[in-house]
Amino acid sequence: MTIPRFWREFEHRYRLIGTKCPSCGRVYFPPRDVCPYCHRESVGKMQKYELKNTGKIYSFTVVYQDIPDFKELKPYIMAIVEMDDGPKITGQIVDASPEEIKIGMPVKAVFRRIREESPSGIIEYGYKFVPI
Amino acid sequence: MVGIVSYGSYIPKWRIKVEEIARVWGEDPEDIKNGLFIYSKSVPGPDEDTATISVEALRNALSRKRINDVGAIYVGSESHPYAVKPTATIVAEATGFSPNITAADFEFACKAGTAAIQTVMGMVKAGMIRHGIAIGADTSQGAPGDALEYSASAGGTAFIIGEKDTIAEIKATYSITTDTPDFWRREGQDYPRHGGRFTGEPAYFRHILETSKKIMELMKTKPEDYSYAVFHQPNGKFPSRAAKTLGFKESQIKQGLIVPYIGNTYSGSMITGLSAILDIAKPGDRILAVSFGSGAGSDAFHIEVTDGIENYPRENAPDVWKQINSGKFIDYAIYAKFKGKIKMGE
C-alpha cells in the first residue's frame, strides 16, 4: 500500500470510523459516500460513525498459505466479524489458536501491526480481533 | 489537587517460563528463580510493539472514563518502534485525540513513564491543559543467553492526569538524577549492555532508597502510614529488598509486585504495579510509588486515593492480575520467532 493511501485510511483502520446514513440509520464500514438504499437522499449527508469495538464471529477460515508479511503468524485465522453496530468486517483473529475459534464467538477489535513496508519503511497499523 | 483521573494497563497474552529459557541455555532454573525471584515473563506477539501496547493501555483507561479535553500525550519507552517518528503521534491518532494536542516521546530507561507523569502534572498545575496523558510502555530486549533474557518483557500503563474528579491525588513527587553507567544501549545496537552486579548498590538501591526516604521526609510520613508501596521491578528480589530496608512489610508490596509472573516491563514496570494497586485501593489509602531508570534516576510519588474511586467503573477494563493470570505459555522456539530472533532468508 502506498503511504498516501495508508495515511488517508487512518480513521477507519485505526478507529473503526465508518459512516451512518441519516435517512435510514444503516451503518457502513468501510465508510461509504452514498447509502445504497437511500441513494440521492443520502448524498452529501452521510455522517461519520465510530463503531463499538465488539462483535461476533460470523464465519472464519484458517490460512496456511505462505504470505511473506504474515509468515510469523502462520497458521492465521481470518474471520468475517459481525459488529454489534451491524456491519460485517473482514479481519484477522489473534492471540488464539484455530481450535479455539467458533462461529458466534464474541470478539473485540484491538490495535495491532498489520505489516511493514520494509525494515526501513513505514509500519502499517490497524484493527485485528481477539476473543473476549 | 492534581491527580489520576483514569488509568489502564495492557499486558500481552503470551508468556514464557524461566525453565524454558534455562533449558535452552543449559542453566539451572531453580538457581535463576531463587536468584531473580522471577518465574515467567510476558512476550509480545509478532504484531505488537510499544505503540500497540500504549494504545491498548490508553483505551482501557478511556473505557473506564472517557475524557475528551486532553491537551498532551507523552509516551515513555526505550523501545519506540521508530527511531524518528514519535509513538505519541500514533497513539493520539488511534485514540481520537489528534490533531489538537501536543505530543512527544520520552526516554529514560525504565522510568520514562514516570517522567511523563511529572511533565503532565506540571502542565495541569500551570493551567496549560485540563488533562494530560502519560504512558509508560515497552517491548524490552535481552540478548539471547544473557541474564536479562529471563526478565525483559512487554507491557504498559496509561494515566490520565487532571485536577477535577480524581480517583487518587498525587500529593508530592521527588526525583534524583545522576550519571551512573549501570545499563545502556548504544544507538543502532539491538541489545543493551549492563554492569552486572554494579546495577545493584550504586544504581537501583542508591536511587530508590534515597528518593523514598526524601519523599517520606517531605511528607512527614513513615512506612506504616502507607497502605501500599510499589518500587521499580527489574526482578523480584530488588524491590523486595528495597522495601525491607525502608521498613515496609510484605503485605504492603504484595499487590503491586507483578514481576515474578510477567517480568520487567521496563517503562511499564512500576506503573503497572501501581495500576494493580489502584485496582483494589479504597478511599484514604496512601500509596508510595517509586520508579527507577538506569543511567540513572528515580521518581517518587506520594499518592492518596480519593472518594472518587468508589463510583469509578474499574470493571470496565480488565484488571492487572486478571491479565497476568490469563497468559498463554509458549516454548523457546515460538518465543524466538515472535521476538524476531531467527535469521530469515530473503
Tell whether B137 and B67 lie within a shared domain. Answer: yes
A94 touches B: beta carbon within 8 Å: yes
Confirm whether B249 is domain-assigned.
Answer: yes
Break chain B down into helix, strand, coil percent, rounded to 5.
40, 25, 35
Residue B195 is predicted with a pLDDT of: 85
Residue A95: list chain B partners with CB under 8 A: 13-14, 45, 328
Cα dihedral B231, B232, B236, B241, rounded to 10, equals -50
Q: Using CA atoms in the order A22, A26, A27, A32, what is the torsion angle rounded to 10 degrees? A: -70
pLDDT at position B162: 98
For residue A87, what is the domain's CATH number? 2.40.50.840
Say yes or no for a CB contact (<8 Å) between A113 and B82: no
**Which of B11, B43, B47, B48 to mutate to probe the A interface, most A CBs <10 Å?**
B47
Assess if residue A37 is contained within a domain.
no
Between CA A97 and CA A75 the distance in angstroms is 8
- A2 pLDDT tier (thresholds 50, 70, 90): confident
Contact criterion met (CB below 8 Å) for B38 and B22: no
- A65 within domain boundaries: yes
- Residue A108 forms contact with B (CB below 8 Å): no
What DSSP assignment string belongs to B160-198?
A: EEESSS-SEEEEEEEEEEEEE-SEE--TT-SS-EE-GGG
Inside any domain, residue A18: no
Which pLDDT value is given to residue A117?
87
Q: Which residues pair with B264 in a beta bridge?
A: B152
- A8 within domain boundaries: no
Which pLDDT score, from 0 to 100, does residue B76 have?
98
Q: Are B139 and B50 spatial neighbours (Cβ–Cβ below 8 Å)?
A: yes
In whole angstroms, give the CA distance from residue B260 to residue B262: 6
B137 DSSP β-pair partners: B156
Domain match, B129 and B278 both:
no
- Going by their DSSP bridges, the two strands B183-184 and B193-194 should be labelled as antiparallel
- Domain range for A97: 52-131
- Per-residue pLDDT of B233-286, as tens digits, reads 999 999 999 999 999 999 999 999 999 999 999 999 999 999 999 999 999 999
**Residues B235, B34: Cα–Cα separation, whole Å:** 11
In terms of domains, do B148 and B188 share one?
no
Residues B182 and B294 in one domain: yes
**Strand ranges (DSSP E) for chain B?**
3-10, 14-17, 40-43, 70-76, 102-106, 131-139, 154-162, 168-180, 183-184, 193-194, 228-231, 286-293, 295-305, 328-329
Number of separate domains in chain A: 1
List phi, psi (to 5°) of B306: -100, 175
Distance of residue A1 Cα from the nearest chain B Cα, in angstroms? 18
Are the beta carbons of B94 and A14 separated by less than 8 Å?
yes
Closest to B192 measured CA to CA, from B152, B241, B150, B155: B152
And the C-alpha cell for B12? 500481552
Q: What is the pLDDT of residues A84-95, one digit of tens each?
A: 999 999 999 999
Q: What is the DSSP letter of B338?
A: H
Is the CB of residue A7 less than 8 Å away from at least one CB of chain B?
A: no
Asked if B240 and B187 sit in the same domain, the reply is yes
Q: Is the peptide bond before B99 cis (omega within 30 degrees of 0)?
A: yes
Same domain (yes/no): B161, B13? yes
Residues B155 and B8 in one domain: yes
Where on the phi/psi map is residue A16: left (φ > 0), alpha (ψ -120 to 50), or beta? left
For residue A21, the cross-strand partners are none
Note if the pTM is more than 0.95. yes
Q: How far apart are the first and last CA of chain B?
A: 57
What is the per-residue pLDDT across B219-231, written as a single tens digit (0 to 9) for each? 999 999 999 999 9
Residue A69: predicted pLDDT: 83
Task: Write the pLDDT tens digit of every residue in B104-130.
Answer: 999 999 999 999 999 999 999 999 999
Any domain includes B57? yes
Please check whether residues B58 and B162 belong to one and the same domain. yes
Residue A20 falls inside a structural domain: no
Q: Is residue B163 among the annotated active site residues?
A: no
Question: What are the pLDDT tens digits along chain B (346 aa)?
Answer: 999 999 999 999 999 999 999 999 999 999 999 999 999 999 999 999 999 999 999 999 999 999 999 999 999 999 999 999 999 999 999 999 999 999 999 999 999 999 999 999 999 999 999 999 999 999 998 889 898 999 999 999 999 999 999 999 999 999 999 999 999 999 889 899 988 888 899 999 999 999 999 999 999 999 999 999 999 999 999 999 999 999 999 999 999 999 999 999 999 999 999 999 999 999 999 999 999 999 999 999 999 999 999 999 999 999 999 999 999 999 999 999 999 999 887 7
A114 touches chain B (CB under 8 A): yes
The answer to whether residue A72 scores a pLDDT higher than 90 is no
A25 domain residue, yes or no? no
Q: How many alpha carbons lie under 13 Å from residue A2 in its C-beta half-sphere?
A: 3
Amino acid of residue B336: A
Shared domain for B140 and B192, answered yes or no, is no
B24 within domain boundaries? yes
The total of structural domains in chain B comes to 2
Which residues are registered as beta bridge partners of A59? A80
d(CA B19, CA B12): 20
Active-site annotation holder among B48, B56, B110, B149 = B110
Asked if B33 and B18 touch (Cβ cutoff 8 Å), the reply is yes
B54–A contact, CB cutoff 8 A: no
ipTM above 0.90, yes or no: yes
In a domain, B8, yes or no: yes
Is B68 among the domain residues? yes
Of B241, B244, B239, B237, nearest to B256 (Cα)? B239
Q: What does each C-alpha distance from B33 to A106, B22, B56, B264, B329 come to in angstroms?
A: 38, 10, 30, 14, 17
Residues B96 and B110 in one domain: yes
Shared-domain flag, residues B9 and B141: yes
Within a domain: B346: no
CB contact under 8 A, B93 and A94: no
Comparing CB atoms, the residue among A15, A73, A130 nearest residue B94 is A15
**Residue B56 to residue A113: CA distance in whole angstroms:** 12
A20 touches chain B (CB under 8 A): no
A66 min Cα distance to partner chain B (Å): 14
What are the cell numbers at B80? 519506540
Q: Within 10 A of A24 (CB to CB), how many other CB atoms are there?
A: 11
Rg for chain B, CA atoms, rounded: 19
Would the CB atoms of B49 and A113 count as touching at under 8 Å? yes
In this structure, are B149 and B82 located in the same domain? yes
CATH of the domain at B209: 3.40.47.10
Task: Find the distance separating the first CA and the last CA of chain A, reported in whole Å.
Answer: 31
Contacts of A72 in chain B (CB under 8 A): 46, 337-338, 340
Domain housing B326: 3-167+320-338
